[in-house]
Each structure stands twice: as structure tokens, then as C-alpha cells.
Structure 1
Amino acid sequence: MFLGELEKLVLQYLWEIESADAKQVFAYFEKSRGGTLNTIQSTLDRLFKKGLLAREKHGHAFQYRAAVDRDVFIGRLITNISSDFGSSGENMLLAAFNSLSNGMDEKQLDELERLIDERRLKANSDRQI
């Protein structure tokens, strides 16, 4: 899935603050990026149509929030990219993680190991049910 620069920034913002309407998003980006309220509204609508944002009508405005957890989204991106560059998606995914781990420090590697152990425990408990 391709995201433009503003789409990425808006998604990051909504992950951090949880929900906002178009005017709040515009006010946040107005000083640093410029642009118009219409540009922000279009960006929010595109992200909604891509399934990355959820929205609810509050009065005359939509309140937007991320529809996908940040970690889940990043995982999907990595999976999509790895499958785009080879027929063997799982091997490509492992190669990507191996490459990424080269730049990790001890603390990050420990956290990765903890997450892998946690995932193994969950997989084992799911099999037993």
C-alpha cells in the first residue's frame, strides 16, 4: 500500500493522540507544513477509504481515529514488501528481519527475543485449545 508523505504524518499523529477532527489535524500541521483545511480533509478521507482510519460523525464533523494498530500496520507493510520481491514470502520476511537485526543494540535484541518467546507461548496455547 502506497502512502504519501502527508498521509504518513497524519496517521502517525492519530496514533499518538487517538482521535481528532479535520480542524484539529489542520491546526497541528498548519505551522509546520502549511497547506489548507481542504488538503487535510482530503487526506483524512483517503486514509479512511484505504481502511486505515475509522470515523464517526460528531455534530457537523467527523472524528477520526486509527483503524489499525501501528505494529499491525508495519507488519503488513513488511509482509507486502517481502512478497513483492520474491515468490518465497516467508524466506524473504526472515531475510528482512535478519537484515534489520544487524542494526539493533543488545536492548533491542532482548526485546525482540522477548516478543518471539511471547508469540511462541501464544501459538502453543492456541494449539492446545
Structure 2
Amino acid sequence: MQLGELEKLVLQYLWSEKVADAKQVHSVLGQTRANSLNTIQSTLDRLFKKGLLSRTKQGHAHLYRTKVNREALLAKLITNVTSDFVEQGEHSLIAAFSSASANLDDAQLDKLEQLIEQQRKLRRG
């Protein structure tokens, strides 16, 4: 799955606002980026079809909400990208994350350790 720049901005907006219709999104994003209301509506519809947004009809408009949080989307995007390059049981993905962690400070590394421990506990049940 690939996301365009406007799609990313719409997701970020909806993560902060929780729920909005196309006109609300347009008033914040569309006008500053010179996008029409129709472009915003098309973007919301694409995100809905990709399974990233839910929508409910209210009057003539749809109200949109995100279906996934930031972390879940990042995990999905990483999995989609790496699935083409990493085979089952291969350790290159772990090595790539290890290399990427070289840029993290001590607080971020501590948080990473905490998240890894949470995943271990979840697997144990």
C-alpha cells in the first residue's frame, strides 16, 4: 500500500481531530494546499477504500474516522515494503532495524526496549 502526500496529511488531521467531514478537512488542508473540495472528497474516499478510514452518513455528508492508529499503520507499511525483500525466518529485517536504531537517543532506546518487552508478554499470553 502506498500513500500520497495528501492522504498522509488527511490521516494526520483525522488522528488529531478524531472525526470530520470533507468540508472540515478542506477548510484546514484543502485551502492551504490549494486543493478543491472535490479533491479532498476523493482523497477521503480512497482512504476509505484502502480500509484506513470508516465513515458514517450524516445528512448529505459522510463523517470520517481513522480505523487504524499511527503505530498500526506504520507496522502495516513496513510489512508491505519489507515483504518483497525479506523471506520467512530471514534476519535482514532485524539487522535493518538494528542499523536504524543507531540514530536513536537513550530515551528512545529505552522506549524501544519497553515495547519489545510488551510484545514478549503479549506472546506469552
TM-score band w.r.t. shorter chain: over 0.9
Structure 2: gaps (5+ residues): none
Task: Report the counterpart of residue 21 of structure 1 in structure 2.
Answer: 21
- Once the two structures are superposed, the pairs formed by residues 8-87 of structure 1 within 5 Å of their partners are 8-87=8-87
Local SS of the residue matching 2:118: helix
Give the TM-score taking structure 1 as reference length: 0.90
How big is the alpha-carbon RMSD for the aligned residues of Structure 1 and Structure 2?
1.4
Q: 1:90 to 1:50 in 2, by over 3 A?
A: farther
Q: 1:20 to 1:57 in 2, by over 3 A?
A: same
Task: Report the counterpart of residue 111 of structure 1 in structure 2.
Answer: 111
Amino acid corresponding to residue 4 of structure 1 in structure 2: G
Local SS of the residue matching 1:68: coil
Amino acid corresponding to residue 114 of structure 1 in structure 2: Q
Q: Matches of 1:41 and 1:110 in 2, distance apart?
A: 41
Q: Matches of 2:107 and 2:87 in 1, distance apart?
A: 33
Runs of 4+ deviating beyond 3 Å: none
Q: Matches of 2:90 and 2:17 in 1, distance apart?
A: 34
Q: Matches of 1:28 and 1:12 in 2, distance apart?
A: 12
Local SS of the residue matching 1:35: coil
Q: 1:113 to 1:84 in 2, by over 3 A?
A: same
Contact conserved, 2:30 with 2:40, CA < 8 A, in 1? no
Q: Matches of 1:29 and 1:60 in 2, distance apart?
A: 21
Amino acid corresponding to residue 32 of structure 2 in structure 1: S
Say whether 1:102 aligns with 2:102: yes
Local SS of the residue matching 1:63: strand
Moved more, 41-50 or 83-92: 83-92
Identity %: 57
Structure 1: gaps (5+ residues): none
Moved more, 74-83 or 90-99: 90-99
Give 1:92 shift.
Answer: 3.3
